[in-house]
Amino acid sequence: MSARLLNGNEIRDQIKAEVARDLAHLREAGICPGLSVILVGNDPASEIYTRNKSKTCKELGMFSERIELPSTITTEELLERVNDLNRRDEVDGILVQLPLPKQVDSKKVLLAVDPVKDVDGFHPINVGNLVTGRPGLVPCTPSGIIEILNRSQIPIEGARAVVIGRSDIVGKPIALLLMHRNATVTICHSKTRDLPGVCREADILVAALGKPGMVTAEFVKPGATVIDVGIGQLTRREDVERFFPGNEKKMKDFEAKGSTLIGDVDPSTVIPVAGALTPVPGGVGPLTIAMLMVNTVRAARLRRAPQLAPVPSA
């Protein structure tokens, strides 16, 4: 057996095409959805993420702006900027890029974002909507995982799902989304007894723990679908050779950059056992920005044109 690799790039492109059709429908009604991204400081990873978000907005013809603020900003100053965006009618989505500097109260800032513009889905009102199964804005990575499963024809209803990780950003929301689709869900964490044994019961295993290569064949039921949410870097040649034996592309990537990407899953042992696997990169990652675009368009529709029906998917 060799796992089918689920192509997140293809699914991302499908979703972007659907968003483009929806945008055209909104523009006919005189509405151009807008996304504002707040970037504090000069964290290299955050700069890349926010640049990619702005680039995707531009590709789709959406209004977007990146508000760059100094790392010395106070909580009160940042709250003023958020409240200004809350008041601006042309801004449908507000995203505060994390992490924020230590002196800033991140929870207070995220709570200040108007729930109808909270395209990250982090506000307690949107979390409450998710818990109770009401319509709302859902965190992007978890909703992207559901798209991968649905569009790859992987059954969720009746499946046994195990989620490793209980973060507010991925672990808890994906568990709820799977449960709402009638999966039987177990959430695992650092205190779970016999973690590999619990994971081996899963038809769908979601690895979102942030430990590179931790999930091995010992964790995987033969034929299971494994969703790898993690992203880390290997900086030692011996680790690249261990996790990607015989993979010339990965070795060339390592030699060119001095590092290469890996998720929470050890592909060398899991690919021969699993039925399907999301690769890193090219699996879950591309869906996060795609679903951010979906959320921005949804936020615009709900706030400015609730009477317009969404354009059906192709």
Residue 257 covered by a domain: yes
> 158 and 110, same structural domain?
no
So what's the pLDDT on residue 10? 97
Backbone angles phi, psi at 238, to 5 degrees: -65, -30
Return d(Cα 212, Cα 266) in angstroms, integer.
8
Packed helices 140-151 and 8-28: angle between N→C axes, nearest 10 degrees? 110
Q: Which residues are catalytic?
A: 53, 97, 120
Model confidence at 314, pLDDT cuts 50, 70, 90, reads: very low
Q: pLDDT digit string (tens) for 158-190? A: 999 999 999 999 999 999 999 999 999 999 999
Model confidence at 47, pLDDT cuts 50, 70, 90, reads: confident
> 65 and 145, same structural domain?
no
So what's the pLDDT on residue 209? 93
The model's pTM = 0.94
Residue 77 covered by a domain: yes
Which CATH number does the domain housing residue 244 bear? 3.40.50.720
> Which residues, at least 6 apart from 197, have a Cβ–Cβ distance to it below 8 Å?
none
Residue 4 covered by a domain: no
Report the length, in residues, of the chain: 314
> 74 and 151, same structural domain?
no
In DSSP terms, 142 is beta-bridged to none
In DSSP terms, 63 is beta-bridged to 34
Residue 92 covered by a domain: yes
Residue 126 covered by a domain: no
Q: List strand residue ranges (DSSP E) for the chain, in order.
A: 4-5, 34-40, 63-69, 93-96, 160-164, 184-188, 204-207, 225-228, 232-234, 260-262, 276-277
> Which residues, at least 6 apart from 59, have a Cβ–Cβ distance to it below 8 Å?
16
> 254 and 171, same structural domain?
yes
Which amino acid appears at position 159 of this protein? Answer: A
> 268 and 212, same structural domain?
yes
> 188 and 155, same structural domain?
yes
> 74 and 34, same structural domain?
yes
Residue 252 covered by a domain: yes
Number of structural domains (the chain) is 2
Both tokens of 258, joined, read 């001095």
Average pLDDT over residues 93-114: 96
Average pLDDT over residues 215-240: 96
> 149 and 221, same structural domain?
yes
* Beta pairing class for 276-277 and 34-40: unpaired
Return d(Cα 87, Cα 102) in angstroms, integer.
27
> 242 and 159, same structural domain?
yes
- Domain span including residue 267: 140-285
So what's the pLDDT on residue 311? 60
